[in-house]
Amino acid sequence: MVCIPLLMAGGKFTALFSLLLLVGAVLLAKFQDISVDDARAYLADAIAPEKRALSSTAAAPSNATVEDVCGPLQYAIELLSLDPLIIYINNFLSPGEIKGLLEVGEDLFSASTVADDLTQRFSHPARTSSTAYLPGDNPYSQCALQKARKFLGFYDFDGIESPQLTKYAHSQEYRGHFDWPPQPWREPANGNLRFDRFATFFVYLEANCTGGSTHFPKVYIDDIPHLDALNTTKFEPIVEDKRTTLAARAIPGNAVFWVNMEARGRGNPKTLHAGMPVLEGTKVGLNLWSRRYLADDEDIGDGSTTASTSTLDSTATAAATDIQANTISSAAQGETFVGSDSTSTIQIAAASQIPS
């Protein structure tokens, strides 16, 4: 009892108290058949409840909730473009959240495919990655969705599609494409409502690679003041046709956000983007798409969202519209829908779920 005030005077009472708690937790573990690591986790919660997110080396227990695995918002943003609106997000996800998402999708990957008649699927050189759709009720999925919703604020619109992992191995790529459809898709499971993708988050989860930047070939940055001060560890200036265009390097935890639609509801052709080839190693990213439903009589400007694809090469034109989630299965009814692409006979087709 005498040592406590002495330690307090020396500013070490907190350390002693923590040590006593740890000893008690270890003893509790021995008597109640729980691991010492679990005991340390309980101790961390008791001392620092604001740090409840699991560490990068911890695995989520089977009964974990989104509150258990999801850390606080700690990101910083950088404005990259106004038209289209593109924002670079530093530290969007924590190492623990990334680890959890990768573990959830580890056994779910399959080769990305395209389809020529909405039924026949096959591989195509425009899109050589593999994809995995994550269950919307998983706490790590919910964490990613929650952070995206908070970022969107009032512009969450009608929810966000289930998270999709996309993996690129050596030489794999996804050539120039859009995330919005030429005409709004329809969803039979929800009254056949029309919808489009208002915005996209692409979050880098794993980047043990060279290459693999996200390139926006229609976003020109050569007229930006102080371009010579561009942070080339995060951004890669790419010169095409004597113009400098924007590309974001893959850095785990960081994300690129952009708005796909113009003010009148049409798809913005400047959002053309590509996943550049991975030269060595592996890249894994996370797609989050914000959805916007349209009333049947709602005008989208000139009545069309079709964008010119003349700037793409013939192979990229085949995948000009990213319909990688256009086969949408309702979790409630199991119905499917495949959207149409009036600019090409080639479709991107893969399974997805509507988030609850």
| DSSP string for 49-80 | GGG-SPPTTPPPPTT--HHHH------EEEEE
* Same-domain status, 170 and 297: yes
Considering the domain architecture, whether residues 16 and 88 belong to the same structural domain is answered as no
Q: Is residue 62 part of a domain?
A: no
CB of 316 closer than 8 Å to CB of 85:
no
Whose CA is closest to 288, among 162, 100, 150?
Answer: 162
- SS3 sequence of 245-308: EEEECCCCCCEEEEECECCCCCECHHHCEEECCEEEEEEEEEEEEEEEEECCCCCCCCCCCCCC
Report the pLDDT value the prediction gives residue 139, as an integer from 0 to 100: 97
Q: Which of 326, 329, 259, 255 is nearest to 290 (CA)?
A: 259
Residues 235 and 228: beta-carbon distance below 8 Å: no
Are 188 and 158 within 8 A, CB to CB? no
Angle, helices 139-152/95-105, rounded to nearest 10 degrees: 130
Nearest to 178 by CA among 261, 239, 286: 261
Residues ≥6 apart with Cβ < 8 Å to 293? 157, 158, 190, 193, 194, 195
What is the DSSP secondary-structure string of 171-239? Answer: T--EEEEBSS-SS-EEEGGGTTEEEEEEEEEEEEEEEEEEE--EEEEEEE-TTSTTGGG--TTTB--EE
Q: Is residue 343 part of a domain?
A: yes
Asked if residue 131 and residue 16 are part of one domain, the reply reads no
Q: 334: left (phi > 0), else alpha (psi -120 to 50), else beta?
A: left
Residue 24 lies in a domain: yes
Q: How many Cα neighbours within 13 Å face the side chain of 293?
A: 14
Whether 217 is covered by a domain: the verdict is: yes
* Spatial distance between the Cα atoms of 286 and 165, rounded to a whole number of angstroms: 5
Whether residue 11 is found in the same domain as residue 113: no
Compute and round to an integer the Cα radius of gyration of the chain: 23
23 in the same domain as 96 = no
Whether residues 198 and 232 fall in one domain: yes
What pTM, to 2 d.p., does this model score?
Answer: 0.69
Report yes or no on 185 lying in a domain. Answer: yes
Q: Residue 90: which CATH number? A: 2.60.120.620
Q: Quote the CA–CA distance of 180 and 1 in Å, as a whole number.
A: 69
DSSP string, 102-136: HHHHTTT-EE--EESSSS-EE-BTTB--EEEEPPT
In a domain, 116, yes or no: yes
Same domain, 82 and 188: yes
Q: Cα 111 from chain centroid?
A: 18
346 and 203 in one domain? yes
Domain count, the chain: 2
Are residues 37 and 95 located together in one domain of the fold?
no
The two structure tokens encoding residue 125 = 């050189």
Beta strand 327-329 with 351-353 is parallel
Q: Which domain holds residue 345?
A: 76-353
Does residue 134 sit within a domain? yes
Neighbours of 30 (CB within 10 A): 11
Residue 131 lies in a domain: yes
- Are 17 and 121 part of one and the same domain? no
Q: Please give the Cα distance from 80 to 271 (Å, whole number).
A: 13
Same domain, 177 and 299: yes
CB contact at 8 A, 260 and 287: no
Query: Which pLDDT tens digits describe the chain residue by residue (356 residues)?
Result: 444 333 334 444 444 445 444 445 444 444 344 444 443 333 333 333 333 333 333 456 668 899 999 999 999 999 999 999 999 999 999 999 999 999 999 999 999 865 443 345 567 788 899 999 999 999 999 999 999 999 999 887 788 999 999 999 999 999 998 898 877 877 877 788 888 999 999 999 999 999 999 999 999 998 777 777 789 999 999 999 999 999 999 999 999 999 999 988 889 999 999 999 999 999 999 999 999 988 776 766 544 433 333 333 333 333 333 333 332 222 222 222 222 232 222 233 232 322 22
Domain co-membership, 241 together with 274: yes
Tokens at 144, concatenated: 């990613």
